[in-house]
Amino acid sequence: MKVTFWGTRGSLPAPLSAAAVRAKIVNALVKGAGHGLDSADKAAAFCDAQLSFAEAGTYGGNSSCVQVDTGGGEYLLCDLGSGVREFSLSALARHGPSRPQTYNVLVSHVHWDHIMGFPFFVPAFIPGNRIRLHSCHPQLERAIRNQNSAPCFPVEFSQLAASIEFVPLEPGRPYEIAGARVTGKLQLHGNDSYGYRIEKDGKSVVYTTDSEHKLDQPAEMAAFAEFFRQADLVIFDSMYSLADAASVKEDWGHSSNVVGVELCQMAQARHLVLFHHEPIHDDARIQGIHRETMRLEQITRSGAPLQISAAYDGLIVDV
């Protein structure tokens, strides 16, 4: 499987400001002084060798949308945040408007940051496309239809030209979707959310966002460790620090990088991707959290190494 991240922020989109772009440019110019950067190739090589990811790039600002390529003829996405617009433009560029496609979407829950991209999902406007919205959440159809209606949006749901289906799922029951085996799990979050385990040809990806985990509830931790069991990739909600998650933001429905490492170590998972970044965190802070998490994994490791990545818009992971 190949996993592409189109949106990685939590709660709401967080685009890079003009001031932040300028600060990156100023920093790069200062660091590049005296290096003879008189061509694009030299400048690119300098950025690759001398600047960190946070200095030369950005983790992005779109809200949750992840594509899982299962090798079949149908698309499989997780969530419909603002990143789904970028995905849809890419798909349209690949196929053009005259070649109908089937788009399967696993929706974790109906909070706005996870469905806000649907009104701008270009395939929904094109006749012949088939869009299948799968979710364990009982309010999905109501939320999507209400979002595409006055006064929220000028294009009514009934005006969308694609064939759109709402497919209810039961937690704990496996389903065949886009050539993969998909199983949902209820998560602790306001108004409920659901994680999904996606399996194909002996490989597994777990998409788990908007989920809070209580360290003082060992049975709950063990249940999620089993859901993550030996997963090749775990896409994990690490929005808060452990201190915030256990104090001022307790019961807000999100988790931390520390808990992500603990659960993946318990599950003997192979690769943890920090996801659903806090919108107030800038690129330097997210990079810092990534480095801190890698160090935490090293000092707590008792078995095979756990690979740690920080998700960014455009990240591609082969599973």
CA distance 191 to 275: 20
pTM of the model: 0.95
CATH number at 2-14+58-318: 3.60.15.10
pLDDT tens-place values along the chain, 319 residues long: 999 999 999 999 999 999 999 999 999 999 999 999 999 999 999 999 999 999 999 999 999 999 999 998 999 999 999 999 999 999 999 998 889 999 999 999 999 999 999 999 999 999 999 999 999 999 999 999 999 999 999 999 999 999 999 999 999 999 999 999 999 999 988 899 999 999 999 999 999 999 999 888 899 999 999 999 999 999 999 987 666 655 555 665 678 899 999 999 999 999 999 999 999 999 999 999 999 999 999 999 988 999 999 999 999 999 9
User: Which residues are CB-neighbours of 221 under 8 A, at least 6 positions away?
Assistant: 213, 214, 215, 262, 263, 266
For residue 15, count other CB atoms closer than 10 A to its CB.
12
According to DSSP, residue 108 is labeled: -
Task: Specify the long-range contacts of residues 12-21, CB closer than 8 Å, at least 24 apart.
Answer: 12/63, 12/112, 12/113, 12/279, 13/61, 13/62, 13/63, 13/81, 13/82, 13/113, 13/279, 14/61, 14/277, 14/279, 14/280, 15/61, 16/58, 16/61, 16/283, 20/282, 20/283
Write phi, then psi, for 93 (nearest 5 degrees). Answer: -65, -30
- Vertex 196: Cα angle to 236 and 220 (nearest 5): 70
H runs (alpha helix) in the chain = 18-32, 40-50, 53-56, 83-95, 140-147, 218-227, 242-245, 257-267, 283-300
Structure tokens at 92: 């349209």
pLDDT at position 252: 56
pLDDT at position 154: 95
Task: Specify the long-range contacts of residues 146-150, CB closer than 8 Å, at least 24 apart.
Answer: 147/115, 147/116, 147/118, 147/119, 148/118, 148/119
pLDDT at position 217: 87
User: Which residues are CB-neighbours of 41 under 8 A, at least 6 positions away?
Assistant: none
